[in-house]
Amino acid sequence: MSGILRLGRLELRVLDLEESVKYYTDVIGLEVTGREENRVYLKAWDEYDHHSIVLQKADTAGMDHMAFKVKDIYELEKLESKIEQFGCQLSRVSKGTRLAEGEAIRFQIPTGHYMELYTDIEQVGTKTGSLNPHPWPDGLRGIAPHRLDHALLTGDDLETATRFFTEVLGFKQTERIVTVDGEVLVGSFLSATNKAHDLAFVKGPDGKFHHAGFYVDNWYDVLKAADILTKNNVQTEITPTRHGITRGLTIYFFDPSGNRNEAYTSGYMSYADFPTITWTEDKIATGIFYHRRELVESFNKALT
């Protein structure tokens, strides 16, 4: 109910830019909408804005920053003031720093990740258009998600991170994982929308990136995604399954730099009066991988 619209973009660090572009276009099925020397901009077919993923050539993999789009400049200013009150130091990203983007504000969240808020980005429209549109366009390739959906990060102090996102940025907490004694928050799922989550944290090292979730339409499209990953010899961490948390249907895999991706669908709708669901840590594996009921070893280790 804050002015935050959605996770508008992720800038990911990748080791080999061309190999990464090939992967994000052929396997994920995004389209390139812009190029600079060290950055490539991409969007999913069903997104309106100029890009949702920015690939940045870098020496280490990971998330450069995540950026949430805000409704308008008025909401952005209100958020800016609340963020400063919380004690975060803000900097300003000037228009033209990145392609097709206007000004943004940038700051570090309590877990050390860089985050931006912005309202100004060129809108290029979806592939189906806005006049008598067909439900999907011809010529889709790869997994072809509808959109970038959410991100999962790790951090040490999830209580503070949750407080920042709920009290300052107006997210609601849809689900939380707590130690059995109820003392420590080890997972926190946060929604700025009616989705089950737009952002989530699991306990781990500060500043690390766990995965970017792309939204596909249904369980058959998760199967199609899984088939495509094998056909393209992409490293897959978890084969098609359900999350207990969010009830979503999912598959986890890795981009060529080791950044984890997810094809995700079918989480529940949450409204602002949604009562937070609690998972106790003894059930965490069921919460994460509902069918497997145990974590895979890499889940907590493969972070970028």
What does the alpha-carbon distance between residue 260 and residue 278 come to, in Å, rounded to a whole number? 25
Annotated catalytic residue within 116, 243, 264, 281? 243
Q: How far is the CB of 65 from Ca ion (least distance, A)?
A: 24
- Catalytic (active site) residue 134: no
Q: Which residue's C-beta sits nearest to Fe ion? A: 213
Q: How far is the CB of 60 from a copy of itself (least distance, A)?
A: 27
Token pair of 137, please? 């366009």
By C-alpha distance, which of 74, 66, 70 is closest to 170? 70
Of the two residues 90 and 180, which places its CB atom closer to a copy of itself in the complex? 180
Assign 163 to helix, strand or coil.
Answer: helix
Burial of 273 (C-beta count, 10 Å sphere; 0-12/13-18/19+)? exposed
| Site for Fe ion contains 262 (CB under 5 A) | yes
- Catalytic (active site) residue 262: yes
Assign 34 to helix, strand or coil.
Answer: strand
Strand blocks (E) in 165-269: 172-178, 185-191, 199-203, 208-215, 236-242, 249-254, 260-265
Residue 279 interacting partner from Ca ion, a copy of itself, Fe ion, none (CB closer than 5 to 8 Å by kind): a copy of itself
* Residues making contact with a copy of itself (CB under 8 A): 1, 3, 5-6, 46, 48, 69, 71, 123, 125, 130-136, 138, 146-147, 193-195, 215, 217-220, 223, 226-227, 229-231, 236, 239-242, 244, 247, 249, 251, 266, 268-269, 271-280, 283, 286-287, 289-293
Q: How far is the CB of 290 from a copy of itself (least distance, A)?
A: 6
Q: How far is the CB of 156 from Ca ion (least distance, A)?
A: 8
- Maximum Cα–Cα distance across the chain: 55
Of the two residues 156 and 237, which places its CB atom closer to Ca ion in the complex? 156
* Residues making contact with Ca ion (CB under 5 A): 157, 159
The CB density around residue 253, as the number of other CB atoms within 10 Å, is 24
Of the two residues 36 and 159, which places its CB atom closer to Ca ion in the complex? 159
The values of phi and psi at residue 81, to 5°, are -65, -40
